[in-house]
Amino acid sequence: MSGYAEGRLEPLGIRLPAASSPAARYANYVIVNGLMYVSGKGPPGEPKGKLGERYTTEQGYAYARLTGVEVLAVLRDALGSLDKVKRVVKVQGFVNATPDYEEHHKVLNGFSDLMLDVFGDKGSHARSVFGAVSLRDQLPIIVDSIFQVEE
């Protein structure tokens, strides 16, 4: 029987993909003293472009949510179950945006809302979001995150 987080996926219509591989020479994640640091992930399909130019805030929100699904896939791959996540600790988002774009926080809500949907109260987290002049592969968003986990 699955616990809370694993049991939330189907009602949310989420099928986790295989965990994506790192884009360069680094680990997908590192676990130290019960904290799991997940390397920066972007949305699947490698969309290219900036918020405020090619994409709307609503599209950015959807990309951030899809990025969250990528992170969930890494968590399950590493831990065997999302139910081993004790808490989402910190989320940091980088939004590829035009200089006049001002809704970075609304874009990253796509990721944050997914963490709350999947983990309930354990999904509440500290957060930072930054506008970026460019991101790898011209992705619209990259998110790195920290989780407290059962080892």
| Residue 1 binned pLDDT confidence (cut-offs 50, 70, 90) | very low
- Whether 143 has a pLDDT exceeding 80, the answer reads yes
pLDDT of residue 48: 97
Q: What are phi and psi of 113, to 5 degrees?
A: -60, -40
Question: How does DSSP classify residue 119?
Answer: H
Amino acid at 9: L
Question: How does DSSP classify residue 18?
Answer: P
Distance of CA 122 to the CA centre of its chain: 15
Q: What domains can be seen in the chain, in order of their start residue?
A: 4-149 (3.30.1330.40)
pLDDT of residue 2: 72
Distance CA 141, CA 24 (A): 17
- Taking only the tens place, the pLDDT of each residue in 49-107 is 999 999 999 999 999 999 999 999 999 999 999 999 999 999 999 999 999 999 999 99
Bin 138: left if φ > 0, else alpha if -120 < ψ < 50, else beta. left
What does pTM read for this prediction? 0.97
Distance CA 112, CA 123 (A): 8
